[in-house]
């Protein structure tokens, strides 16, 4: 069961907030600015509610949202090396907003756009028209996200997109979680990721090669606390200031006779458990990649309290294609063409362990 109500409106900034509720009082608050998850109120093992998402104290900060808190990012989530790619023999230059790289849609990213709310009996549906040339990307794109919250604590995000010209598409949700509700950092959170390999990055955080997780700080095939891993002597951790790497999720290989995008079956790929509160987050997705980000660049980012955030105050698990995939051997899989429909589903489930 999903309950859908408008919670409040900020007339001054033109930002509307919407609340999804389940039968047990769990609440997810979403803004039409960037289709961003603003808050997720959930009980701990003692029934005490807390907001498990990082965010800003003032709604006006979501208008710029430099940290991408909770937002839907696109057209391209993550990085494109030098902001360049070649598609169908044509070279493209898109925004370079992360040093030399393109990051999260650039200066005209989906996280900065005002999404339109559409009536939908199943939940909260938001749509966005991204014009040809936005951030340098070709084609007019119509994107849609449908948020649904059920009584089992599952927040399901269904993405779709269509285009009138070939264009790269890689959408994801950039929610920052802290399962203790922000009373401490995430170092005691216990993480598991169902992946045997991850993508090692260069100094610009662009993937260079796939590497086995076995024997490294990146091996979360068995649950392990995040904090101790951050201090392992690993050059990849030094480069990123922590974890900011894409895990290669187990998948069925696509039929070579059918080029293009082949979403995987929806399957559970990661869990995070906070021993203090008993809250557990489970992530399921149809994507091939999962970016684990340990909040390395949160220093002095304004938050909800009097003090700004600090590194490792939150984590992200972003289901997506591989970073810079448009410049790799699987580029065709991330190109959306006219007549095709981009589809992606990711489910975040919050539960409590005794």
What is the rounded distance in angstroms from the CA atom of residue 8 to the CA atom of residue 134? Answer: 30
Name residues whose C-beta falls within 8 Å of residue 107's C-beta, 6 or more positions apart in sequence.
Answer: 95, 97, 135
Phi then psi dihedrals of residue 3, to 5 deg = -110, 130
Phi then psi dihedrals of residue 14, to 5 deg = 70, 25
What is the rounded distance in angstroms from the CA atom of residue 289 to the CA atom of residue 197? Answer: 10
How far from chain centre, in Å, is Cα 57? 21
Q: Where does residue 164 rank: exposed (0-12), middle (13-18), buried (19+ CB within 10 A)?
A: middle
Q: Is the preceding omega at residue 75 within 30 degrees of 0, hence cis? A: yes
Active site residues: 174, 318
Nearest residue to 34 via CA among 133, 147, 184, 122: 147
Phi then psi dihedrals of residue 38, to 5 deg = -90, -45
41-58 residues labelled b (16+ CB within 10 A) or e (exposed): bbbbeeeeebbbbbbbee
């Amino acid at each position: 069961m999903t309950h859908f109500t408008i919670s409040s409106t900020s007339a001054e900034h033109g930002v509307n907030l919407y609340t999804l509720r389940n039968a047990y009082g769990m609440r997810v608050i979403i803004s039409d600015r960037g289709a961003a998850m603003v808050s997720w109120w959930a009980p701990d093992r003692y029934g005490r509610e807390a907001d498990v998402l990082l965010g800003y104290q003032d709604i006006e900060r979501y208008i710029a949202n430099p940290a991408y808190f909770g937002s839907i990012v696109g057209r391209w989530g993550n990085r494109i090396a030098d902001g360049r790619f070649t598609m169908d023999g044509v070279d493209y230059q898109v925004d370079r907003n992360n040093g030399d790289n393109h990051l999260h849609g650039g200066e005209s990213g989906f996280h900065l756009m005002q999404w339109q709310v559409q009536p939908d009996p199943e939940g909260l549906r938001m749509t966005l028209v991204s014009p040809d040339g936005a951030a340098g990307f070709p084609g007019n794109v119509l994107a849609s996200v449908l948020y649904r919250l059920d009584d089992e604590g599952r927040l399901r995000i269904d993405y779709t997109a269509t285009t009138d010209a070939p264009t790269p598409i890689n959408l994801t949700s950039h929610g920052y979680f802290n399962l203790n509700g922000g009373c401490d950092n995430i170092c005691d959170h216990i993480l598991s990721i169902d992946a045997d390999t991850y993508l090692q990055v260069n100094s610009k955080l662009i993937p260079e090669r796939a590497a086995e997780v076995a024997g490294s700080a990146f091996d979360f095939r068995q649950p392990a606390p995040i904090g101790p891993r951050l201090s392992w002597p690993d050059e990849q951790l030094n480069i990123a200031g922590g974890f900011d790497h894409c895990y290669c999720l187990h998948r069925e290989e696509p039929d070579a006779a059918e080029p293009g995008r082949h979403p995987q079956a929806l399957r559970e790929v990661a869990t995070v458990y906070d021993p203090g509160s008993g809250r557990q987050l489970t992530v399921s997705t149809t994507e091939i990649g999962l970016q684990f980000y340990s909040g390395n660049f949160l220093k002095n980012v304004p938050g909800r309290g009097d003090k700004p955030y600090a590194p490792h105050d939150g984590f992200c698990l972003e289901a997506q294609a591989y970073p810079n995939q448009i410049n790799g051997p699987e580029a065709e899989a991330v190109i959306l063409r006219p007549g095709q429909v981009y589809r992606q589903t990711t489910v975040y489930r919050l539960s409590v362990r005794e």
